[in-house]
């Protein structure tokens, strides 16, 4: 059974460890993003009630934390930006990522925002397909100079209000 739980129900380091695992298919990811992942985990766990539990959740299957997603609401009502979105390697390809994303979209829609924005890259082909499967539309590709091993950035939008 799939559940979506508050980040505060899990120990500090959970978000970081999930990102390390989810991106373990390419060692360059940890090399370039390790510090950012740690800062993200530190920030969320330092702000559990005011940020982490309001703007993200951990996905749990049969009692196992298998992934998480978070979003930045600071630009609402114009848009909300989806940040990290990951599923542990052993659970990929089983539909959990899609269910996790659908739940995040459902929650974000409650804000009454105009659109949801997310950026991924060419390296994460499965993420591209996941975003498209729930209704995100590819709006542009941008050159990635920061982490060229990951390929170009790909920006997606889901328009909710016109």
- Paired tokens of 49: 């009630």
How many domains would you assign to the chain? 1
Interaxial angle between packed helices 96-109 and 125-133, expressed in degrees from 0 to 180 and rounded to the nearest 10? 50
Q: Is the pLDDT of residue 161 over 90?
A: no
Q: Which helix (H) or strand (E) holds 93?
A: none
Q: Is the pLDDT of residue 162 over 80?
A: no
Domain range spanning residue 29?
2-159
What confidence tier does 141 reach under pLDDT thresholds 50, 70, 90? very high
CB 51 within 8 A of CB 6: no
pTM: 0.95
Alpha helices in the chain (DSSP H): 14-22, 27-46, 96-109, 125-133
- Paired tokens of 143: 């050159």
* CATH code for the domain in which residue 63 is found: 3.40.630.30
């Amino acid at each position: 059974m799939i559940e979506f739980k508050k980040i505060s129900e899990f120990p500090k380091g959970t978000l970081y460890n999930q990102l390390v695992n989810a991106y373990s298919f390419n060692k360059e990811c940890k090399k370039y993003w390790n510090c950012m992942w740690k800062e993200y985990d530190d920030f969320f766990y330092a702000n559990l009630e005011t940020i982490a539990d309001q703007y993200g959740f951990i996905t749990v299957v049969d009692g196992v934390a298998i992934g998480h997603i978070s979003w930045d609401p600071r630009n609402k009502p114009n848009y909300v930006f989806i940040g990290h979105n990951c599923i542990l390697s052993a659970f990929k390809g089983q539909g959990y990522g899609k269910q996790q994303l659908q739940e995040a979209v459902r929650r974000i829609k409650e804000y009454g925002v105009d659109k949801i924005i997310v950026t991924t890259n060419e390296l994460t082909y499965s993420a591209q397909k996941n975003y498209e499967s729930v209704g995100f539309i590819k709006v542009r590709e941008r050159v990635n100079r920061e982490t060229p091993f990951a390929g170009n950035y790909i920006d997606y939008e889901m328009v909710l209000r016109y």
